[in-house]
């Protein structure tokens, strides 16, 4: 991922391609805008989106053991 738009697109694409994950694109866009307001530095913003992306992937790989009660 190279920049903020790439990171947001990758997160959106992951959610869109994953079965049994349902979201409203407008809500995701609102969340990304809110996060951008908090993380104004491009590197920080991208790091947060990459962290979300990685955790979602991790949860999908190990659905039985990810998280807790």
pTM of the predicted model as reported, rounded to 2 decimal places: 0.79
37-64 core/surface letters (b: 16 or more CB in 10 A; e: else): eebeeeeebbebbeebbeebeeeeeeee
pLDDT tens column, 32-68: 999 999 999 999 999 999 999 999 889 888 888 887 6
The maximal CA–CA distance of the chain, rounded, in angstroms, is 36
Q: What is the DSSP string of 38-57?
A: H--SHHHHHHHHHHHHHHHH
∠45-40-52 over CA atoms, to 5°?
Answer: 20
Give the start-to-end residue ranges of the domains of the chain: 4-61
């Amino acid at each position: 991922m190279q920049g903020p738009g790439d990171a947001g697109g990758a997160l959106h694409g992951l959610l869109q391609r994953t079965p049994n994950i349902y979201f409203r694109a407008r809500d995701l866009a609102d969340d990304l805008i809110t996060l951008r307001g908090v993380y104004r530095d491009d590197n920080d913003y991208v790091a947060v989106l990459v962290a979300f992306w990685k955790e979602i992937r991790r949860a999908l790989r190990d659905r039985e053991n990810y998280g807790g009660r």
